[in-house]
Structure 1
């Protein structure tokens, strides 16, 4: 993979360093990175003294949490005499970018760039660097918020003042495995307010979704200095992937065939979601997949955890022209590649309903029932629309795990009651957003 606009080659030929938390033996240029040591896992349910060390590792390996943490920070222009060419964050070196990724506990494994921005596939999800924006998305037990001080330090060196900040995530499958400062949304909000609570809007935190279903919650923090430029961002989370469709993302199939990232992209239909996108894809060993897509200033990204019991896939698209894409059509093309038993979508809109077109309306999706719909206003004229869906017909379980053991249950998932955090939920009768603070 060549950097700075070069043509991408097969991900299997890309040479890279051992990510933080990995041994060099775990890095396989012909087969991706072993998804093992730095991923997010649930607490071991049996006392460690009762298990051999190998058994403890088996428990830990089994339960990977795919749900990502997403941090987006936008900066205002630097003074003309400080940045006459308007390069902004494009002036950052690879070493400087690595310096904040190291703090989040992830590393770059592949890169694809164009004149508008640089995209990086990470050992845990993705990074996008625009001249005046950074979008960092990490999964597992990464410590994303620990990267903030270094990002702010680098921006200050370039005379870039903070314009806005947005942090979002779904409900952690294994909240007990998350390290500080991600042990609860309250803890995350406290950290974010420490950095951005002084912006003109103040810090605004929301937990939205079904008040009676802990699995279907969307956590959002937003702060801004002034109204944002028109933009639409789609974040989509899918669980309970179809057996056959999730099996595409295992590197070695049951019949002994070996799949590359390029083949996974084609077989899953990912390349057809937004066909104009140039794709940088990457496969993990023994299973898992990540990709970034670029087209002008628009970006998309997909991350897949296909194992039995906790299968998960995410899709995101941002900076696209909303009049060129129909909301429900994009959703259905994504679903065609995964057929999940449950999924949620969060659409963040700046610029009003007229700009957002079909993206400002709730979607009706064939074969799925909408469980809830929330519309939450954000400071600076923003709107967040959240929907969650369940398959109408019972789906099948996801494919085999890399180890034959029981998967996770919903009992271990994060709930508002154990997070002591603000909730904004949908009242089906009154159809308004309400606030509720847990005691």
Structure 2
């Protein structure tokens, strides 16, 4: 205990207010999330087991709807059987992955894109589950993502080859090697998307991508979705207009309620194909429904068609009047995507920093705006060409050996049209933008 003397008075300590903040402490900076720690090895599953289970579940969940739909058609016949329905489901399942079927009437290669989309989505989930099972979640390791995707692809390839062996009959044959290779590529690509997102590799690649390229891809995806949406609307309107003919075609099969329901569901499985064909029609190149045929806005030349309800919406002649205005839809889709790009770049979302620290939207130069708009054209062209290639295929030999649009024509026209529209939309957004508005 210290003593107090006259020559050594007690020094008064500093007066501290109740509402005062300490000034000698360092101001804490922004928190940075620590990288995810690897999961314990004892909780991990072997790679072969995880990939095999994930691939098998993806195959089962994409096969059962096909077996149910084709089973309705198969069992409605007098000679139908459960075995025949299961084999027909395997054949349709293989066709949905792009594996052609060799029949007595010729190759059958028109892929139902609705089934392809279902199988692709299930395989992306397989990539997610496999990555989690092996403890690669959040690891940001490209090697782990590729390993998980490759393992799923190998397991899926074995299932595809097995299905090709089981589906073979006297009038139907499928190459197991072709099926295995197709399933390996299909499964690995789809699983890589899921594995890339789960491991965090997709986020790392997106962060390292140049801003112009990233904005261009985003704008191209927006324009592509708008273009496909317009094609879906036009196809739906055409089928609705010819709904009476479609109903007559379904009733003409004489397969009972179950068979007619199955035929309707098969037609719905090809609805994405019709969407792509309608988009090609809006772009100008059009599509074919047989050798020597053409369905374009300027020409409609078709012969005898199979009794397929989906074909009831084909136009009867060249577009005129209001139909000719449909040619402006692709340009408008590109302009809308370019406008949205300009609005997003010129009017960024509110950020936590004060207004004085935010970048001035008037400082955005023309190259930073028009660069992504120009890149949107090739992005849409690439996607449109791939969709056109996937939507077509033969329906046997002879006259129906050519069905669908020509991929390179669709890609070239989509690139030019969307690029022009996106540039116009982005330029209009910058010209009409004012610092004092909004």
Tell me, yes or no, whether TM beats 0.5.
no
Q: Pick the structure with more helix per residue.
A: 2
TM-score category of the 2 structures, normalised to the smaller one: under 0.3
Which protein is bigger by CA-based radius of gyration? 2
TM-score (ref. length: structure 1): 0.26
